[in-house]
Amino acid sequence: MDTPVEYYLVLAAILFGIGALGVLIRRNVIVILMSIELMLNAVNVTFVAFARQQWSVDGQVIVFFVMTVAAAEVAVGLAIVLMSFAQRKTINADEINLLRW
């Protein structure tokens, strides 16, 4: 029996909502980065669900590129967090204002 695509879309919407709330509510930069990853994974679930429904591999190819960009985002984001922590001794997003002197 095939699982309906609506179940995957509901799961993706819930994951995206949790990620969006994490970005909007939390001030810890590491939690914000994890929330962005959660939102990217929700989009990946959507791509795979639609690709499976249409019997196409295009969704999996797009997911591969999204995962590549997400890995680069994690590497750059964690490097920025480590450098800002070394300078400011905090990872609170409200207290990190590196563009001001």
Q: Is the pLDDT of residue 70 over 80?
A: yes
The residue range of the domain holding 36 is 5-88
Is 29:81 a contact under the CB 8 Å cutoff? yes
Number of independent structural domains in the chain: 1
pLDDT tens digits, residue range 2-61?
A: 889 999 999 999 999 999 999 999 888 889 999 999 999 999 999 999 999 999 999 899
Is 53:40 a contact under the CB 8 Å cutoff? no
Residue position matching structure tokens 């995206």:
16
| Domain CATH for 56 | 1.10.287.3510
Q: How far is CA 41 from the centre of its chain?
A: 6
DSSP 8-class letter at 89: S
Whether residue 93 lies inside any domain: the answer is: no
Residue 92, strand partner residues: 28
User: pTM of the full predicted structure?
Assistant: 0.85
Whether residue 98 lies inside any domain: the answer is: no
**Residue 90's pLDDT is what?**
81
**Residue 1's pLDDT is what?**
61
Largest Cα–Cα distance in the chain? Answer: 61
